Structures are given as C-alpha cells and as structure tokens.
Amino acid sequence: MTEYLERLTPGSPGHELLGFLLAGSWVVPRSRQVPRAVAKQLEQLVLNKKDRKFVAVPRNSIEQILASQDFRDFSRRVRQRIQSQISVTIFDARECADRL
C-alpha cells in the first residue's frame, strides 16, 4: 500500500481515491508473503520480479482477484495459468470500471 501512496501525487484523483477506499475499509492491506511453493510458481509465471507482488497480495485476500491493465507481464495465457495454479483471477481493469 505504501508503494501506491509514495508514487501517487497528493491531491491527485488516484491519491484521493486510495485515501477514500482506505478510510472506508474498502481496501484492506494484505501481506505479500506467500508459501514457498506459491513463490516458486510466481517466479516461473511472472518474469518481471517487481510484478510478482501484485499477484501475491490478492492471493492472500478473500476474493483473490486482481484488476490489471498490464498485458505485457500478464498476458492472457499467463492470467489463465495464474488462475489455475495460484487461484488468483486477473481481470482487465477496464472491465472493472463499471463495477466501482
């Protein structure tokens, strides 16, 4: 969560939205620590080391859902494998906008 807060400009729409979601308990911070077996799967599926945490965090959530527009690191094939092997469903973020 701190990564988002560090990168978003205070007062920007993204910063304000994140603050609103945190204050209303809409977003609950989760650990990015996963069992070693899951970490190994992530290493094989997600080549970009920095992006692995974006799958690890929802893995530790109740819904196990990630919304992402990153099709370079999370291609359709990678998304399918992540869902079948790690139980995290990755939706296209543009499809999720109507659900907010």
Residue 99's pLDDT band, with cuts at 50, 70 and 90, is low
Q: What is the DSSP string of 36-61?
A: HHHHHHHHHH--SGGGTHHHHHHHTS
Q: Where along the chain do its domains lie?
A: 1-30, 31-100
Hey, what are 67's tokens?
A: 């919304």
Q: How much is the CA Rg of the chain, to the nearest whole Å?
A: 14
CB-CB contact of 80 with 72 (8 Å)? no
Per-residue pLDDT of 34-87, as tens digits, reads: 999 999 999 999 999 999 999 999 999 999 999 888 999 999 999 999 999 999
- Amino acid, res. 98: D
Q: Which residue has the tokens 């999720």?
A: 96
Residue 21's pLDDT band, with cuts at 50, 70 and 90, is confident
